[in-house]
Amino acid sequence: MDDGDVFMRRALELAESGRHRVMPNPMVGCVLVRDGEIVAEGWHDHIGGLHAEQMAIADAEARGVATQGTTAYVTLEPCNHFGRTPPCTESLLWAGVGRVVIGTMDPNPTVRGDGAEALRQEGVEVGLGMLEAECERQMGPFMHWCRHRRPQVTLKAATDSTGRIDGEQSAPAERFSSAESLALVQELRADSMAILVGVNTVIRDDPSLTVRGTDIGPRSPPIRVVVDPNDRTPTGCRLLTDAEAPTLLIQSSDFGSGDSNHVERVVIPEQEVPVATILDMLGDRGIQSLLVEGGADTWGRFLDAGLVDRARLCVSPIELNGAGGPLFASHSLYDSGLAVTSSEVVSGDEVTWWQKKPTEQV
């Protein structure tokens, strides 16, 4: 293990400032170190903003410290292409950085391998793979999409103490998760480029599926996706009437429209739209992260297909009225190859995180 671990940890921490805000770019952090001390820091803050390395160099300038001969610790391989910003390799060379330690390589085909190699060719010492697993995890959706051209799928489910997700269908839908765990749902939404529900959830709950109370910066809000093969989405529902975010209906044939501008219909001519096809379609649109919010049928279909990468299950201590409501069985997560990675109690609700077991990862 290199002594630089502590510096890479700081770079990971800085990268967190870009959470929710930089997608479809990855979160990236960078520190410049001289004589064992951090002299400048930077991160990629929002889409279209400076890259982490460039912000760290600007920070050094603002503090009046020299960058010549420093070591840069950066969570992602520096880019070597002209995108929204000039290449970070050039900025690092211009700043006279002597050594660059990289967390993980950039799988983006337009930059792959070039950054590290370009620096080496100019005589910069390059270290690779420091805290690689942590860096990869932080950039999970970006990495997943670059490799599979599909979004990373997170399933979010909440049940009462008996495993029911809703009470009697004749009664109005009840809220049963605590305010605090509902706030965490907003974090999950902010962390997603798309949010998907089945049409039954739209009919039952009329959800807005917008991000509230969490800053997502200048990036676009998550698109709202409804699996609705038979055109059952009610015309007056929020997803069709409020234009706060785009809405995408997946339908089995062309039902025409008359929809407002924020609504789009995609025809996938199957009664049971295959989950893999949905993910391919979203991947083609550049969607890197998908939150599957419900309900029971939709969760079941994603789990049966083995295409859920992570899940968050919230079990509340409350018992819903009526015995006939639909259930969500947590063993369906096990059966789909997921395992518990953490568990905590949030205002009385038990919140468990699940992750695809490494052997089951695609």
> Annotated catalytic sites, by residue?
53
Q: Residues 6 or more apart from 63 whose CB is under 8 A from it?
A: 39, 40
- Give the shortest CB-283-to-Zn ion separation in angstroms: 24
Verify binding: residue 51, Zn ion, rule CB under 5 A: yes
Q: Does 79 bind Zn ion (CB under 5 A)?
A: yes
164 binds ligand AOF (CB under 6 A): no
- What number of other Cβ atoms are within 10 A of residue 62's Cβ? 9
Structure tokens at 296: 């029971």
Say whether 212 sits in a helix, a strand or coil.
Answer: coil
Strand (E) or helix (H) holding 5: helix 5-15
Backbone angles phi, psi at 127, to 5 degrees: -110, 145
Pick the piece of the chain touching Zn ion (CB under 5 A) from 34-42, 66-74, 76-84, 205-213: 76-84
Contacts of 106 (CB under 8 A, 6+ apart): 76, 77, 79, 112, 115
Residue 155 CA to residue 2 CA, distance in Å, equals: 37
CB of 218 to ligand AOF, least distance (A): 13
Q: Find tokens 């793979």 and name the residue.
A: 129
DSSP state at residue 173: P
76 binds ligand AOF (CB under 6 A): yes
330: contact with ligand AOF by CB under 6 A: no
Interaction between residue 50 and Zn ion (CB under 5 A): no
CB of 71 to ligand AOF, least distance (A): 16
Residue 310: count other Cβ atoms within 10 Å of its Cβ: 19
Asked if 32 interacts with Zn ion (CB under 5 A), we say no
Does residue 142 contact residue 25 with C-beta atoms inside 8 Å? yes
Member of 84, 120, 137, 357 binding ligand AOF (CB under 6 A): 84
Interface region with ligand AOF, contact rule CB under 6 A, candidates 44-52, 159-167, 257-265, 273-281: 44-52
Query: Which three-class secondary structure state does DSSP give residue 349?
Result: strand
Q: Which of 108, 201 has the CB closer to Zn ion?
A: 108
Phi then psi for residue 48, to 5 deg, are 90, -10
Give me the least distance between CB of 312 and ligand AOF, in Å please: 26
CA angle 131, 133, 136 (to 5 degrees): 105
Rounded to the nearest whole angstrom, what is the least distance from the CB of residue 194 to ligand AOF in the complex?
18
- The only residue of 41, 53, 59, 191 in contact with ligand AOF, by rule CB under 6 A: 53
Nearer to ligand AOF, 86 or 326 (CB): 86
Q: Applying CB under 6 A, what is the total number of residues that bind ligand AOF?
A: 17
Strand 125-128 to 152-159 pairing = unpaired
Of these, 11, 14, 28, 196, which contacts ligand AOF (CB under 6 A)? 28
Binding segment for Zn ion (CB under 5 A), chosen from 30-38, 49-57, 166-174, 311-319, is 49-57
Closest CA to 72 of 129, 136, 8, 1: 8
Q: Where are the alpha helices (DSSP H) in 16-130?
A: 52-63, 88-94, 114-121
Minimum gap (Å) between residue 190 Cβ and Zn ion:
24
With binding defined as CB under 6 A, does residue 83 bind ligand AOF?
A: yes
- Binding to ligand AOF (CB under 6 A): which residues in 102-131? 106, 108, 111
Residue 57 or 313 with smaller CB distance to Zn ion: 57
The token pair that represents 179 in the structure block: 């305010």
The total of other beta-carbon atoms located within 10 Å of residue 22's CB is: 26
Closer CB to ligand AOF, residue 76 or residue 292? 76
Chain residues that interact with ligand AOF, rule: CB under 6 A: 25-26, 28, 44, 51-53, 76, 78-79, 83-85, 88, 106, 108, 111
Chain residues that interact with Zn ion, rule: CB under 5 A: 51, 79, 88
